Amino acid sequence: MGIARALTLLILALAAAVASVVPAPSESSPTRTPPPSTVPAVEPTSDPAAARLLDGAMGAPHRLSYVGRLSTIAWGASGTRAVEMNIEHRAPDATRKWYIAPSSVYGNYMIERGTTAYAFDLHAQTVTISHYPAADEDDIAEDSNFGLLTTNYRAVPGADDEVAGRKAHTLSLVNRYSGARLQRIWIDAQTSLLLAKERYHANGSVAYTSRFQEIAYRDVPQALFQPATPDGFTTRKGRDFGVPSVDLEHVLGQAGFAATGPRYLPEGFALVSGDVTAIKGIRSLHLLYTDGLRSLSLFENPDKNGGANFTGLQAQDARVQGQPATYVEDEPNVLLAWQERGLNFTLVGDLPLRELERIAASVIP
């Protein structure tokens, strides 16, 4: 999983960019009102050793090459989803994932090279190419902004453990505002690579786990990451995110419509980047927020066919300021979609539905 990568942007640069986003209203230029990006002024982590562990884990994939077998399990409203894969990673940014379970995805594989991903489906005989595909994903080892993470979370050391036959240090990441533990991570004591993690719901129950069952550090041949299309395969265009930018005034100008954003954000969240992205040929403005660990994406567009398509997912009804909306739970994220004054909106975030509804209610074109 991975955001090179949207959340590595500097906080001071972001604050300066956001301050210049809203131009003075005029008759020829519609007012654009993106959300605030104020980072709360609270004490950073008080444990220097824990901060060093986090810093090392975030940089480890960029300097270490390895092969391993990874198991992931997600628990959600639609049931339990378990996936097992073999991973080959060549530092700094080439990864190949071979899916070995469940049977429905057996044999499929994905090649990630920098900001481009190639997903090979052996059953459908297709290869789907995406750019900046991880712009809405979360992984502390690659994506988190260290300043926001240590501002909004306390890193609490725990007892050492063993993962895949290797000694691991453990840290619990506790939200400074709610006091809830959001994630527990296992870090290789020798290499600092993230070996396992558990993500928790607001009530403390486990939402998602990932864990290396086997791992070995060694050089991985470059040839493994050549995305050659097999004979008979059809190439498809996948999710094509734009280049994340802190120049939000420029991004809003590219959108081509009077964009807007939420006036309310949960404590600790900040606007970190924007881009204009194409999803199934429809250009949408994408605003990315984070608190250093959780991410929140807002997509909006004025296209009459640009509403969210939840085909294949268990969509349920919701309300945004009394208006009909639709949501799905796709662990660890919740997706909420609605329409307002000719614009299509979709929120995607690792937050409870009630929080997404509150955020959505503050988005008024």
Q: pLDDT per residue over 99-125, tens digit each?
A: 999 999 999 999 999 989 999 999 999
pTM over 0.85: no
Q: How many domains does the chain have?
A: 2
Give per-residue burial for 196-211: e unless 16+ CB within 10 Å, then b.
bbbbbbeeeeebbbbb
Task: Please tell me whether residues 244 and 226 are part of one structural domain.
Answer: no
User: What does the pLDDT read at residue 241?
Assistant: 67
| 310: CB partners within 8 A, 6+ apart | 326, 328, 335, 337
Could you tell me the CATH number of the domain that includes residue 148? 2.50.20.10
Task: Please tell me whether residues 140 and 207 are part of one structural domain.
Answer: yes
Task: Please tell me whether residues 37 and 60 are part of one structural domain.
Answer: no
Instruction: Give the three-state DSSP class for 178.
Output: coil
**Is 217 part of any domain?**
yes
For tokens 């994630």, what's the residue?
Answer: 183
User: What does the pLDDT read at residue 230?
Assistant: 94
User: What does the pLDDT read at residue 42?
Assistant: 41
**Is 339 part of any domain?**
yes
Which of 93-97, 165-169, 329-333 is least confident?
Answer: 329-333
Average pLDDT along the chain: 82
Task: Please tell me whether residues 315 and 255 are part of one structural domain.
Answer: yes
Top mean pLDDT of 60-74, 200-214, 247-261 is at 60-74
| Statement: residue 337 has pLDDT above 90 | yes
| Statement: residue 313 has pLDDT above 90 | no
Give per-residue burial for 125-142: e unless 16+ CB within 10 Å, then b.
eebbbbbbbbbbbbbbbb
Task: Please tell me whether residues 213 and 245 are part of one structural domain.
Answer: no
User: What does the pLDDT read at residue 202?
Assistant: 73
**Is 355 part of any domain?**
yes
Greater pLDDT, 246 or 164: 164
User: What does the pLDDT read at residue 133?
Assistant: 54
**Is 1 part of any domain?**
no
> Where does residue 142 fall: left (phi above 0), alpha (psi -120 to 50 degrees), or beta otherwise?
alpha
Task: Please tell me whether residues 153 and 292 are part of one structural domain.
Answer: no
Gap between the Cα atoms of 338 and 305, Å rounded = 13
Confidence of residue 37 (pLDDT cuts 50, 70, 90): very low
In the chain, what percentage of residues exceed pLDDT 90? 51
Quick check: 314 and 328 in contact, CB under 8 A? yes
**Is 172 part of any domain?**
yes
Quick check: 294 and 182 in contact, CB under 8 A? yes
Task: Please tell me whether residues 206 and 256 are part of one structural domain.
Answer: no
Gap between the Cα atoms of 347 and 365, Å rounded = 15
**Burial category of 354 from C-beta neighbours within 10 Å (exposed 0-12, middle 13-18, buried 19 and up):** exposed
User: What does the pLDDT read at residue 277?
Assistant: 79
Task: Please tell me whether residues 270 and 123 are part of one structural domain.
Answer: no
Span 264-275, mean pLDDT? Answer: 91
In the chain, what percentage of residues exceed pLDDT 70? 82
Task: Please tell me whether residues 184 and 250 are part of one structural domain.
Answer: no
Which of 179, 199, 234 is the last residue in one of the domains? 234
Greater pLDDT, 11 or 128: 128
Could you tell me the CATH number of the domain that includes residue 278? 3.30.200.100
| Statement: residue 249 has pLDDT above 90 | no
User: Domain range holding 67?
Assistant: 48-234
Quick check: 69 and 89 in contact, CB under 8 A? no
Task: Please tell me whether residues 75 and 131 are part of one structural domain.
Answer: yes
Task: Please tell me whether residues 257 and 292 are part of one structural domain.
Answer: yes
Greater pLDDT, 30 or 329: 329
Gap between the Cα atoms of 76 and 74, Å rounded = 7
Quick check: 29 and 139 in contact, CB under 8 A? no
| Statement: residue 58 has pLDDT above 80 | yes
Structure tokens at 93: 């940014």
Confidence of residue 240 (pLDDT cuts 50, 70, 90): low
Span 155-174, mean pLDDT? Answer: 96
**Is 311 part of any domain?**
yes
**Is 106 part of any domain?**
yes
Task: Please tell me whether residues 34 and 57 are part of one structural domain.
Answer: no
Greater pLDDT, 44 or 125: 125
Gap between the Cα atoms of 90 and 87, Å rounded = 10
